[in-house]
Amino acid sequence: MEKTATGTVVWFRRDLRIHDHQALHAAWKRGGPVACVYVQGFDEDKLARAQQTWMSQARKALHRSLMQKYETSLWCCKPSAHGYESVAQALKTCLDAIGATHLFYSRRYEPDAATEDDRIEQLIKEGGFNARGFEGHLLFQPMEVDKWMSSGKRIGRAHYGTLLPMLHAFKQMGDIGKVLPAPPSLPCLPRDSQRKLELVCTSMTKKKSQKEGALAPWADKLMQAWDVTEEGTRKALDEFIRQKLQKYEAQRSRADLQAVSCLSPYLASGMISPRTVYAASLQGEQGGKQSPVSKTFSRRLLWRDLAYWQFYRYPHLSHKPLRAHHTSHAWSQNREHLIAWQKGRTGFPIVDAGMRQLWHTGWMPQNIRMATASFLTEYLNISWLEGLSWYRDTLVDHDLAINSMMWQNAGRSGLDQWNFVIHPITSPKSSDPTGEYVRTWVPELAKLPTRWIHQPWEAPDQVLDAAQIRMEVDYPTRIIDNLEDARNATLKQTLDMQRSADPFFHTVGGYDVIWFRDISSAEKEAYLSSVDFQAWEPVFVHVFTRKELRHAGSVEERTQKTPTSSPVPSTKKSSTARKRTKVQRASNQTLLRRYYREAQEDTE
Ligand SMILES: Cc1cc2nc3c(=O)[nH]c(=O)nc-3n(C[C@H](O)[C@H](O)[C@H](O)COP(=O)(O)OP(=O)(O)OC[C@H]3O[C@@H](n4cnc5c(N)ncnc54)[C@H](O)[C@@H]3O)c2cc1C
């Protein structure tokens, strides 16, 4: 602790907690007065309505915790304009006002956000202050994970970008560190500093009575399903650990039993740290070594880190297919289908239940998210980007890295393409065998016996009469009559897209090929025109491709094919371009030969 330490400003964003908060802890350790600040509008314009509402409640909760424990306020400062320069200026004004010398904050890892943070930190430093970002949003930082994930070696037979190499990386990286308690005290600002801060910021105590922005009444309603307080967060964790964790392995897929933790919005807003959740899910063993009570649950937190690693490595994760040739997939533009899906009026009860739960609570369990996503991309052939955008708008736990990774996978263009399609009639046998999930969210079907609840159109008239359901009047007709035809049509579209893609995008075994890393176009140019291209490896990697989607063919057949697209499209057929195409073909052949060998080794 510094003896006569100057003040520290702790800048809160998506880390709205006092426990296991490394930046706050470091500020307390420094010893000088601490001002807890958030910048109004910063980051919020990137959040959709549901999450904005959650964040506004979570800030109030943080303010209450700060007041109760330290008698200090959360201060809101308002930049004069949009943009990172104004944010940096607003923070410098706060630092100046109280004579503080240090700015501490928790790092964000989405590529754009990380760049923005670097720029702000730079401007703060140029202003003569110290600025430091701390960890805490993830178990491990993506750049640390990257060292293991991208070492160029495949981990056993695990496919690149899937959870197995991540588990391997996790083991290598070692301990996640100790969960930090809330600082025992925070030195308050002297009165005159407080008065000066009041000139540039508003205390949340004063803001309390004012409504923070006009939020949609719909989004306000969502909050009724949640307890967005520090106590609510702790209660959600404690109840899960005491009552559900032991049964997580067996029951996690049961939407009718509410067997999962529902911690995702608390994690997304930083009301709880992943380290706290991970540590709470361990149990003591003989010899004092701790191990997870449920392997699957602990791995869920690794999935979180995996998503951030994917985003770090592929900054276009949120808006462009990772399998580049998938850009040419012919998605359906049927708006009626999309709206029926969004509003939970598809006529398929499990899909409608999920989408209505999302609308009313801003949340769904994982297997129902998967069922609704699969329905959109596999049966309706509607783009994963539409799904991503709707989830982004309506989820209270929206997380751009996770949402993007999962939708890319659902849309078949992600690193870990799903190896299954979720059937909307047969899958509820395991996800909602009692029908209670559908009864809760599709109340018009509540009186139907379980036998018919997932396919009410099959119910005999007398059953429908007894359940007081008039099909088409009380509950919508199915938007697709024949699921198998719809599914086959999507499959055909996908295979057509696979066949018409440049051979460059497939291995001989039919696996999709992607750039190993997100390299600049200048690098791509250099690679493609380099005769000594082997020196560049690894530049490509093959990724898991569902068997039915593999486009196989002989090396000759596929390399002789005229490319219909190329990672570096050449507009004019100059002699250099022709030469480059030749070199590219040659490199394809070498690659394909290499992949051919790999595919032979890879028996899956
Ligand atoms: C299409 C789609 C979109 C999704 N979008 C999001 C999103 O925007 N935000 C989000 O937090 N989760 C998202 N998920 C992942 C997952 O569905 C939710 O994290 C989970 O349902 C939240 O419920 P829970 O807290 O009870 O999870 P639990 O099963 O109790 O898991 C505990 C925690 O692990 C993390 N986790 C669980 N599953 C995953 C996963 N597959 N990938 C990464 N982390 C995971 C979450 O932080 C979760 O809170 C998405 C899943 C799908 C299929």
Angle between helices 400-410 and 295-313 (to 10 degrees): 90
What's residue 158's pLDDT?
76
Tell me what the mean pLDDT of segment 104-124 comes to: 97
How many angstroms is it from 374 CA to the middle of ligand 1?
16
pLDDT at 169 > cutoff 90: no
For tokens 């007065």, what's the residue? 33
What's residue 511's pLDDT?
86
What's residue 518's pLDDT?
60
Q: Where are the beta strands (DSSP E) in 12-129?
A: 34-39, 74-77, 100-106
How many angstroms is it from 304 CA to the middle of ligand 1?
8
Out of 155-159, 335-339, 507-511, 541-545, which region has the weakest mean confidence (pLDDT)?
155-159
pLDDT at 409 > cutoff 80: yes
Tell me what the mean pLDDT of segment 332-353 comes to: 98
pLDDT at 211 > cutoff 70: no
pLDDT at 269 > cutoff 70: yes
Mutate to test the pocket of ligand 1, among 296, 402, 407 (most ligand atoms within 8 A of CB): 402
Nearest C-alpha to atom 41 of ligand 1 is from which residue? 303
Nearest C-alpha to atom 23 of ligand 1 is from which residue? 262
What's residue 308's pLDDT?
98
For 91, 96, 192, 201, the CA distances from 101, given in Å and listed in that order, are: 11, 8, 17, 18
Tell how strand 7-11 and strand 34-39 pair up.
parallel
How many angstroms is it from 490 CA to the middle of ligand 1?
26
pLDDT at 247 > cutoff 90: yes
What's residue 259's pLDDT?
94
- List the domains of the chain with CATH numbers: 7-138+190-207 (3.40.50.620), 217-313 (1.25.40.80), 324-483 (1.10.579.10), 501-601 (no CATH)
Ligand 1: residues with CB < 6 A are 260-264, 267-268, 300-301, 303-304, 307, 365-366, 369-370, 373, 391, 395, 397-399, 402-403, 406-407, 410
How many angstroms is it from 86 CA to the middle of ligand 1?
34
9 pLDDT band (50/70/90 cuts)? very high
Give 312's contacts (C-beta < 8 A, 6+ positions apart). Answer: 109, 111, 142, 143, 145, 146
The annotation places the binding site for FAD at 248, 297, 397-399
Cα distance between residue 319 and residue 162, in whole Å: 20
How much of the chain, in percent, has pLDDT values that exceed 90? 68
The annotation places the binding site at 248, 297, 397-399
pLDDT at 395 > cutoff 60: yes
- 464/214: higher pLDDT: 464
pLDDT at 575 > cutoff 70: no
Q: With contact defined as beta carbons under 8 Å apart, do 487 and 379 qualify?
A: yes
Nearest C-alpha to atom 16 of ligand 1 is from which residue? 366
How many angstroms is it from 306 CA to the middle of ligand 1?
12
How many angstroms is it from 300 CA to the middle of ligand 1?
8
How many angstroms is it from 264 CA to the middle of ligand 1?
6
Nearest C-alpha to atom 48 of ligand 1 is from which residue? 264
pLDDT at 349 > cutoff 60: yes
pLDDT at 284 > cutoff 70: no
Atom number, ligand 1, closest to the C-alpha of residue 373: 1
Round the average pLDDT of the chain to a whole number and report it: 87
Tell me what the mean pLDDT of segment 38-56 comes to: 86
Give me the helices (H) in 150-294, please: 163-173, 191-200, 204-207, 217-222, 230-239, 248-251, 264-268, 274-280
pLDDT at 289 > cutoff 90: no
Give 86's contacts (C-beta < 8 A, 6+ positions apart). Answer: 79, 80
pLDDT in tens, 494-544: 999 988 887 667 776 788 888 776 667 677 667 666 655 555 555 677 889
How much of the chain, in percent, has pLDDT values that exceed 70? 83
Highest-confidence range of 145-154, 220-229, 594-603, by mean pLDDT?
220-229
What's residue 582's pLDDT?
47
pLDDT at 213 > cutoff 60: no
Q: Provide the sign of the torsion angle of the four alpha carbons 135, 137, 142, 147, taken in this order.
A: positive
Cα distance between residue 465 and residue 459, in whole Å: 10
Q: With contact defined as beta carbons under 8 Å apart, do 128 and 99 qualify?
A: no
Atom number, ligand 1, closest to the C-alpha of residue 398: 8
156 pLDDT band (50/70/90 cuts)? low
